[in-house]
Homo-oligomer: A and B are copies of this chain.
Amino acid sequence: MKEIDMEITLSTTKKTKPQADKLEFGKVFTDHMFIMDYITGQGWHDPRIVPYQKITLDPSAMIFHYGQSVFEGLKAYLTSDKEIFLFRPEKNFQRLNKSNERLCIPPIDVDKVLEALKELIRVDQGWIPDAEGTSLYIRPFVIATEPYLGVAPSDRYQFIIIMSPVGSYYKEGIHPIRIAVEQAFTRAVNGGTGEAKTGGNYASSLKAQEVSDKEGYAQVLWLDGIEKKYIEEVGSMNVFFKINGEVVTPALNGSILPGVTRDSIIELLHHWNIPVSERQISMDEVYQAQKAGTLEEAFGTGTAAVISPIGEFLWQGEKLSVQNGETGELSKKLYDTLTDIQNGRSDDPFNWITKVEQKVIQN
C-alpha cells in the first residue's frame, strides 16, 4: 500500500447506510470526503480526509459568480470476492487536468490524487454496496474559492472528492430510452468548453432537457452548433450507431466530451474485430439508414449508465424507431462485457481495473 502524506480525521458518528434496493443516484453520501487546497504561490497543499461536512465560502467566492469549476465521475465496485475495483481511474484524473487546462485551473498530481482516492475508499469501504448493478459513485470536483468579483482566474481553489452509493442511474435499467433530436438549443461549439467537464456545459443543457422531458423524451440528441446537422452527444453521454454492420461514433472534434466508456467501447470493438469508426455523422445519415432498414442499433455511453440503448428518435416531428424499441444484441453484449469486467465477473484483458487494497474491516 503506497503511502500518501495526508491527515485523516475520522468521523465520530456514522450515518445510516441506505438499503441496497432503495439506492438513488447522488442523494446520500458516505461518512468522509477528501479535500485539498490551492493558493497561487503555494500550489496544491494540505490534502486531508475529513468527516463529510458542509463547505463554507464567502458569498463573493468566484464559484458563485463565474462558474470556474470542473468535475469527474467514476465508480468503485465490490466484486463477489469482496475485492474493490476501480475502472480506469487514471483516465478520469487525466481528463480532469484537461478540463482544468481549459478552465485556467492549475493541474492536480494524478498519481497522488489517485492514492488519496484509494485511501478515502478504504476509510469508507463499508459504504460500497454489493447488490447487482450497484456501485459507489465517486465525484471529484474543483471549485474556484477566491473572494473577488473581478472576471479573472481565481487564485484559490478546493479539490474535493465525495462518494455516494448508487443503484442504476436510469431507473428503467438497460431498457431503451426515447430521444428527441434538439433543434433549437446548442450544447457546445468549437472553441467553447464542450470537451471539458465543466459546470456551464450542464447548466446550459437543462433547458433543452426540460422541454424534451415535457414531450416524454428521456434525453436530447445534441447536434453541432454550427450547421445543426452533425451528431455530437446524447444528454450527458457519448453516442454510438450501428449502421449496416459498422459502428460509428462522432469523432472528438473539440466540442465533444472524450468519454472513458466511449474509449473503452472503441477498444472492445477493435478487439472483437467489429468495424468501428470515429467520424462525422449527420442526423440525415441516421435518418436515411433508418428508412433503408440499416440502422441496426443506437446507444449512449457514460460512467453512470454504462450503455443506454436508444429505442426511438424524434426528429423534425417524425418518430424513428430503432430495433423496434428493443435492446440490440451489440448494446447488450457491450453492457455485459463492461459491467462483468468492472464487477470482477470476468478477466480484465485490457488492464482496465485498479484494485484498491483493503484495510482490515473493523465493523
Which residues of A pack against B, CB within 8 Å?
A: 25-27, 29, 33, 52-61, 63-69, 71, 102-104, 137, 139, 141, 143, 147-153, 160, 162, 164, 184-193, 198-207, 209-210, 225-226, 228, 235-236
User: What is the CB-to-nearest-CB distance from A155 to chain B, in angstroms, rounded to a whole number?
Assistant: 12
Q: CA separation between A226 and B51, bound complex, in Å?
A: 48
Residues of B within 8 A of A104 (CB): 206-207, 210
**A192 touching B149 in the complex, CB below 8 Å, given contacts A56-B56, A200-B67:** no
**A162 touching B59 in the complex, CB below 8 Å, given contacts A26-B148, A26-B150, A65-B141:** yes
The 25 sampled A-B contact pairs (Cβ below 8 Å) are A29-B59, A29-B60, A56-B56, A60-B139, A64-B69, A65-B199, A65-B202, A66-B199, A67-B67, A67-B200, A67-B202, A68-B199, A68-B202, A69-B203, A102-B207, A149-B164, A151-B206, A151-B235, A153-B206, A186-B189, A186-B192, A189-B192, A191-B225, A193-B203, A225-B226
User: What is the CB-to-nearest-CB distance from A343 to chain B, in angstroms, rounded to a whole number?
Assistant: 22
Q: CA separation between A54 and B52, bound complex, in Å?
A: 19
When C-beta atoms are compared, the residue in chain B nearest to A205 turns out to be B151
B54 and A58 contacting across the interface, CB-CB below 8 Å:
yes
The list of the 4 closest CB pairs from A to B, nearest first, reads: A200-B200, A67-B199, A26-B149, A186-B191
When C-beta atoms are compared, the residue in chain B nearest to A153 turns out to be B206
When C-beta atoms are compared, the residue in chain B nearest to A223 turns out to be B191
Residues of B within 8 A of A150 (CB): 25-26
Q: CA separation between A201 and B103, bound complex, in Å?
A: 11
Given contacts A66-B203, A151-B206, A151-B209, 19 further A-B contacts (CB under 8 A): A27-B149, A29-B59, A54-B57, A55-B61, A60-B162, A64-B199, A66-B202, A67-B198, A67-B201, A68-B206, A103-B206, A151-B205, A151-B235, A186-B192, A188-B192, A189-B226, A191-B225, A199-B200, A200-B204
B225 and A189 contacting across the interface, CB-CB below 8 Å:
yes
Q: CA separation between A71 and B202, bound complex, in Å?
A: 17
Q: CA separation between A130 and B202, bound complex, in Å?
A: 42
Residues of B within 8 A of A236 (CB): 151
Name the residue among A59, A102, A151, A190 with the largest chain B CB count within 10 angstroms: A59
Q: CA separation between A33 and B58, bound complex, in Å?
A: 12
User: What is the CB-to-nearest-CB distance from A221 to chain B, in angstroms, rounded to a whole number?
Assistant: 14
Q: CA separation between A184 and B189, bound complex, in Å?
A: 11
User: What is the CB-to-nearest-CB distance from A75 to chain B, in angstroms, rounded to a whole number?
Assistant: 12
When C-beta atoms are compared, the residue in chain B nearest to A197 turns out to be B65
User: What is the CB-to-nearest-CB distance from A53 to chain B, in angstroms, rounded to a whole number?
Assistant: 8
